[in-house]
Structure 1
Amino acid sequence: MNHLYNVSNVLEMKGFNLSSEVVFPTFLFATLSYLFILFCNLILILTIVLNKSLHQPIYLILLNLPINDLMGSSALFIQLLKNLLTDGGPTLYSTCVSQAFFIHIYAAGAVFILTAMAYDRYIAICCPLQYNAVMTHAHVIKIITVVWLTCLLLTGILFVLLLRLPRCRSVISHTYCDNPTLLTLVCANTTGNNIYGLITVAFSQLVANGIILFTYLQILRACFRSKRSDTKAKALQTCATHLLVYLLLECLGLFTIISYRLKNLSPHFRKFIGVMTFVFPPAINPVIYGLKTKEIRDKIVQFFRRKIN
């Protein structure tokens, strides 16, 4: 069996099997989608960074969301656009592992960043008098550091467990590289990897959903107790927007995880859902937070007015 483990570092990625008439429109649509994601997220990042009035706890936490979205969408689209032009073809194993690593960082980061934002809204709405004392810049930096270190730790262990296993296959049948796809190349017992993966998903979902459920129940309770209708409406609008983004991410991520275990599911549909997980949230997040957040919207409008004038 030793010769089976002497696998080349070059993998073969299966393409989309598109007809020649569809390749160029699909490539053009994918390119425009990526450029739209880049433009919107960079505008949001620059707006927050360049305006000192936005250097507040909620916006400093929010700043991490477009950074994370850019990382995830870039990890996907750079390889995806190449595959569309070449209809698959060879790719280095190291490139595939790098893409998978950043994709998993993106998935974990999106969940934990939205959780940190929910915590900030909970303090702002339920404990407004203590907000400035609790959400200091030092405390915000600690929250952001914990978020990224948790993502790096969970994902790092996942890939250490993966890279220790021998490979005897070299064909990638999915649209992009991730941990489940890379495990299909392995000819060894992957029980430990699967158990750790399930524990990681369960841990992140338990922490994120637990915090968000608690914070939103407390926020709703505070809103209905409030006698000021304008404050109540603003809080509910902010929370509804945040909850919409979180539910969209959760539904796409959950279906992507389940799709790996549904053997009868169409491979094309599985690829489509997998890609949408890295298209919809990065495209919608900056639009929602840029247009629905008055402070950010005003700064963006002022910037473009100055440029036009």
Structure 2
Amino acid sequence: MNFCFYCALQHYLTISILSIFLNMLLNNASIKVTEFIVGGFDTTKMSVLVGVVILLVYFVAILANIMNIVVIIYNKKLHKPMYLLICNLAVVDILLTSSASPTMIGVLVTGAKRILYVPCLMQMFAFNLGWVMEAFALAVMAFDRLIAVSCPFQYPRYLTNVRTFVLTCVLWIVACCVVAVFPATVIPLPHCYTVLKYTFCDYAAIVRTTCVDPEYYFNLVAVIIFFILFFTSSFICLSYIGIIFFVKLSSSTERKKMGSTCLSHLIVVTCYYSQIFILAILTRFGVVLTLEERNGLMIGFSLVPSLVNPFVYCLRTKEIKYKLLAMLKKT
């Protein structure tokens, strides 16, 4: 027994000494980072043209989302749960695209590649908060459509404006708590490099500047992302299974109305999940993307949903479209 105890003690001391030694090596090799250099566009041809295109798309996306918010806030008739959720989605889209696009535009158009350490972490937090809230917002909107289809007469009683607002606030708080994991795992790590491999301050880019093996941290975040995508996508699928069930029991006129209402949401869901599924899940299961392919997907993920969502809801939602046209005629 004494022999086993001494063996265990020796093993523990050996591991402790090795750990201290490795930490000393990392601390000696690490550098104090005050700013990062965005290097993801170093091989991009016609960078100014690419930057101008991103700028135009970003401008249109922001303008379209702001118009949707203004139309919903300005008209009291649209102060209903469905439109409040559309308004929340527009806010999320603005956050998602604004967290990354200005940095990419600055690098491509003006050549301003440097970003300070703290703003870089804030950008990482804002971007991850944007995509997490996008998933939450789409899941709640699917639930809203399920209640509207299954209980059309009790809908105003089940889902009030106050409940919708409270639910939205709770989701924002939960999303902030989840996203806090990203900076919490990065801040303690020693840094050996200052050049970001990708196009802005996303989690993978910052982790790759550290002195540690990134696989553990990538796998940790991949698990978090997987559960978020799994639960939200499953919730959306179950909601649509319920919608399909109730649609079968409805008349042909009601089916068309329900189909038109749900199609907008399905377009938005497909646009969002197709890109993030490739970026976050398939790459963890062995799908290898080139630097250009990954950067292209990241640019698309930060811009495309924010551009598509407001136009889908503006063009396919009659109330918003008519109110917007009425406002434009007045001006």
Q: TM-score range, shorter-chain basis?
A: over 0.9
Aligned residue for 1:3? 28
Matches within 5 A, 1:1-309: 1=25, 2-14=27-39, 15-19=41-45, 22-87=46-111, 89-188=113-212, 193-227=217-251, 229-258=252-281, 261=284, 264-307=288-331
Please tell me the residue identity of whatever aligns with 1:12. I
Which secondary structure does the structure 1 equivalent of 2:113 belong to?
Answer: strand
Please tell me the residue identity of whatever aligns with 1:234. K
Fraction of identical pairs, as percent: 24
Task: Return the offset for 1:306.
Answer: 1.0
Could you say what the CA RMSD is over the residues aligned between the two structures, in angstroms? 1.9
TM-score normalized by structure 2? 0.86
Task: Return the offset for 1:239.
Answer: 1.3
Indicate if the aligned counterparts of 1:7 and 1:170 stay in contact, CA closer than 8 A. no
Q: 1:136–1:291: structure 2 CA closer, same or farther, 3 Å change rule?
A: same
TM-score normalized by structure 1? 0.92
Which secondary structure does the structure 2 equivalent of 1:278 belong to?
Answer: helix
| Cα distance in 1 between the residues matched to 2:158 and 2:288 | 51
Which secondary structure does the structure 2 equivalent of 1:91 belong to?
Answer: strand
Please tell me the residue identity of whatever aligns with 1:50. Y
Q: 1:120–1:154: structure 2 CA closer, same or farther, 3 Å change rule?
A: same
**How many matched pairs?**
304
Q: Cα deviations across residues 42-97 of structure 1 (Å, max 9, x unaligned)?
A: 10010011110000011111111111111111111110111103446322122221
Unpaired stretches in structure 2, ≥5 consecutive residues? 1-24
| Cα distance in 2 between the residues matched to 1:75 and 1:9 | 20
Unpaired stretches in structure 1, ≥5 consecutive residues? none
When Rg is computed on C-alpha atoms for both structures, the one with the higher figure is 2
| Cα distance in 1 between the residues matched to 2:229 and 2:201 | 22
Indicate if the aligned counterparts of 1:16 and 1:87 stay in contact, CA closer than 8 A. no
Q: 1:86–1:304: structure 2 CA closer, same or farther, 3 Å change rule?
A: closer
Indicate if the aligned counterparts of 1:16 and 1:84 stay in contact, CA closer than 8 A. no
